[in-house]
Amino acid sequence: MREAEPREVAPSGSLRLRFLLAIALWVMLGIGGIWFSATRLFADHVEQSYHEELEVHVHELAMLLRLDDQGNPILSRPLSDPRYNVPLSGFYWQVTVNGKAPLRSRSMTRGSLDDSIAYSPHVAHMVEDGPTGPTITYGLLRQHPDGGDVHLVIATDEAELNRLIDSFTRELTWWLMALGALLLATGIAIIAFGLKPLDRLSLAIARLRQGAANRLEGRYPTEIAPLVSDLNAYVRQNGEMLDRTRVQAGNLAHSLRTPLAVLTDEAERLAAADSTRASASVLLDQTRLMQQQIDYQLARARSSARGQTPGVASHLQTVITPIIRAMRRLHPDREFSIVEHGEGDSTVPVDPVDLAELVSILLDNAGKWARLAVTLSLERNEDGRLIITIFDDGPGMTDDQIAHACEIGTRFDPVMPGSGLGLAIAKDIATSMDAILHLARGRTGLVAQVILPVVHA
C-alpha cells in the first residue's frame, strides 16, 4: 500500500460505538424496568400474603379464646403456628380483657403490644413498636360475655417481611445483572457479525489502494452490494478515463511531433544558406524547446494521472527483465546485469508503465555514460521498502552536477544524444508514485537509487 495518507474525511464517531451505546441503553432500561416492576410486584404479593396470614391468625386467636372461671382469658389450644411459642421469634399475640393483666404468647418474653389497635369488631392493622422492633400489628375487638372489651392483638416483626423482600430483591438483582451482561455480550456479538461486511469492505478498499487488487473483491450483503458495485464501476470508469487521457495525450504529442519534424527539417535546410542561417537557428532552438515541452508535459500527464490511481501494482522482475533485454540491444557494448539481494515478494504499489519509464530512463542514462558495465541491484531496506540501485562505471557526476541533474534541459555533454529531460522526468515520476529518487557519486560512476513505496499489510 502506498504511504498512509491523511484522511480527507474526519470520522464522526464510531458506528460500532453507536450500536453498542444504543444496545447498552436499551438493556439498562429493560433490565431496570423488569427489576423495578418485579420487586414491586413481589413486595406487594408478599405483603398481601403476610397480611392475609396475620388476619387468619387473629381470627384463629379469637376462635381459641376462652375465659376461665375468674373471667381470665385462656386459649383452648396453642395457635397452630409454632413460631408464637419461640421466645422473641418476632411472632407475638396478646389478649387483654377489661384491663386485667394481658395474656401473651410464649414468644413474647418481654415488652407489650398496644391494645388500642383493637378498637372495633373488624380487623385493623398498623405498624407499631413491638418487643423486637417495629411490628405489623393486627387487632380485633370482641365483647366480653360479662360486658367489657376483649382486645386481641397479633403482631409480627416488620423486619421479617423486609428480609423476605430484600432477599428476593438481591437474588433478582444478581440474575438481572447476569441477564444484562448476557444481553450486552449478545449485542456486541451481533454488532461484530453485522459489521463484518463493512470490515471486509474496508480490507478490500485497502487492497485496492495497495494495488493488490484492481477492484473491490468479495461478496457483500444486499444492503452493501449496490454500494460496492457503484464503487467498482467508479474505479473502472476512472481507470478507463485515465487510459483514454493517456492515449489522447499521446495522440496529441504524436500529431504535434510529425509537423515538428518537418519544421526541424526545413530549419536545417535553411541553416545551410548564409542568408537564412540566423533565422534557422531561432527555428531550431524553438522547435527543440517545443519538443522538450511536449516530452516533459506528456510524461508528467502520464505519471500524475496514474500515480493516484487505486488498484495498480508492479512486479519488479516482470517490469525490469524486458527493459534490461532492450538495454542490451540499445547499448551492445555495455554489460547490463541484475543483482538481487534477499527474497520475498517484490510487488510494489505503482503503475508498471511509470515504473518501466523511470527504470528505463535511469538504465539508458547509465548505459550512455558507462565505460563497460551497468548493474541494477534489488534489495529491501530495514523499513521493508524495495530499493532499485543502478550503478555504472562511467565518469560519474560532481556534487554540483548532481544538484542540477534533475532540472529540465540539463545536459552535461551536448555531444551525447538526448534531450536533457530524462532525469527531470524520472524525478517527476518518482514523486508521483511516492518513491524517492536519489543520485550520488559512486566509487567509479553515478549511483541512482529509487526507494519505492511499501505495501502495507
Partner 1 sequence: MRLLLVEDEPELGRRLSERLRGADFAVDLATTADEAEHWPDLDKMAAIILDLGLPDGEGLDLLRQWRAARVDCPILILTARGSWQDKVEGLNAGADDFVVKPARFEELLARLNAQFRRHAGRRDNVIEAGYLRLDPLTHEVWLDGAPLVLSRQEYRLLHLFLRRPGQLLSQGAILEDLYDLQTERELNTVEVLVGRLRRKIGKDRITTQRGLGYRLER
Q: Shortest Cβ distance from residue 363 to partner 1 (Å)?
A: 9
Q: Which is nearer to partner 1, 387 or 421 (CB)?
A: 421
Q: Which is nearer to partner 1, 14 or 281 (CB)?
A: 281
Binding mask 341-360 for partner 1 (x = CB under 8 A): ------------x--xx--x
Q: Shortest Cβ distance from residue 444 to partner 1 (Å)?
A: 22
Q: What are the DSSP E strand ranges found in 285-426?
A: 314-315, 335-340, 347-348, 373-380, 386-392
Q: Which is nearer to partner 1, 53 or 266 (CB)?
A: 266
Q: Distance (Å, rounded) from C-alpha 443 to C-alpha 445?
A: 6
**Helices and strands (DSSP H and E) totals, the chain:** 8, 14
The angle at the Cα of 290, spanning 288 to 292, to the nearest 5 degrees, equals 70
User: Which member of 79, 188, 231, 330 binds partner 1 (CB under 8 A)?
Assistant: 330
Q: Shortest Cβ distance from residue 282 to partner 1 (Å)?
A: 15
Q: Shortest Cβ distance from residue 311 to partner 1 (Å)?
A: 19
Ramachandran angles phi, psi of 48, nearest 5°: -60, -45
φ/ψ region of 295 (left if φ > 0, alpha if ψ in -120 to 50, else beta) reads alpha
User: Which member of 302, 306, 368, 427 binds partner 1 (CB under 8 A)?
Assistant: 302
User: Running DSSP on this structure, what letter comes out for residue 384?
Assistant: S
Q: Distance (Å, rounded) from C-alpha 215 to C-alpha 201?
A: 11
Query: Is 29 buried (19+), middle (13-18) or exposed (0-12) by CB count in 10 A?
Result: exposed
Tell me if residue 18 falls in helix, strand or coil: helix
Q: Shortest Cβ distance from residue 376 to partner 1 (Å)?
A: 14
Considering only residues 245 to 264 of the shown chain, the ones binding partner 1 according to CB under 8 A are 250, 253-255, 257-258, 260-264
CB 79 within 8 A of CB 105: yes
β-strand pairing of 373-380 with 335-340 = parallel
User: Which member of 361, 378, 423, 450 binds partner 1 (CB under 8 A)?
Assistant: 361
Q: Distance (Å, rounded) from C-alpha 323 to C-alpha 429?
A: 17
User: Which member of 154, 312, 316, 323 binds partner 1 (CB under 8 A)?
Assistant: 323
Q: Which is nearer to partner 1, 81 or 266 (CB)?
A: 266
Give the total of residues touching partner 1 (CB under 8 A). Answer: 35
Structure-block grid coordinates of residue 104: 401473651
Q: Which is nearer to partner 1, 188 or 263 (CB)?
A: 263
In order of 88, 197, 206, 213, 239, the CA distances from 217 in angstroms are: 79, 12, 11, 8, 17
Q: Which is nearer to partner 1, 153 or 305 (CB)?
A: 305
Q: Shortest Cβ distance from residue 217 to partner 1 (Å)?
A: 28
Q: Which is nearer to partner 1, 184 or 263 (CB)?
A: 263
Q: Distance (Å, rounded) from C-alpha 168 to C-alpha 16?
A: 36
Structure-block grid coordinates of residue 47: 405483603
Considering only residues 259 to 288 of the shown chain, the ones binding partner 1 according to CB under 8 A are 260-266, 268, 284, 287
Q: Shortest Cβ distance from residue 330 to partner 1 (Å)?
A: 6
Q: What angle in degrees, to the nearest 10, is found between the helix axes of 225-271 and 277-307?
A: 170
User: Which member of 69, 329, 400, 443 binds partner 1 (CB under 8 A)?
Assistant: 329
**Chain mean position to CA 264:** 61
Q: Distance (Å, rounded) from C-alpha 410 to C-alpha 408?
A: 6
Q: Which is nearer to partner 1, 344 or 414 (CB)?
A: 414
Q: Shortest Cβ distance from residue 268 to partner 1 (Å)?
A: 6
Using CB under 8 A, which of the segments 119-127, 203-211, 320-328, 430-438 binds partner 1? 320-328
Ramachandran angles phi, psi of 345, nearest 5°: -70, 125
Q: Shortest Cβ distance from residue 325 to partner 1 (Å)?
A: 6
User: Running DSSP on this structure, what letter comes out for residue 5?
Assistant: P
Considering only residues 411 to 440 of the shown chain, the ones binding partner 1 according to CB under 8 A are 417
CB 414 within 8 A of CB 402: no
Q: Distance (Å, rounded) from C-alpha 234 to C-alpha 227?
A: 10
Q: Which is nearer to partner 1, 191 or 376 (CB)?
A: 376
Q: Which is nearer to partner 1, 360 or 389 (CB)?
A: 360
Structure-block grid coordinates of residue 414: 551536448
Q: Does 210 bind partner 1 (CB under 8 A)?
A: no
Q: Which is nearer to partner 1, 85 or 317 (CB)?
A: 317
Using CB under 8 A, which of the segments 32-40, 74-82, 305-313, 323-331 binds partner 1? 323-331
Contact positions vs partner 1 (CB under 8 A): 250, 253-255, 257-258, 260-266, 268, 284, 287, 291, 295, 298-299, 302, 322-323, 325-326, 329-330, 332, 353, 356-357, 360-361, 364, 417
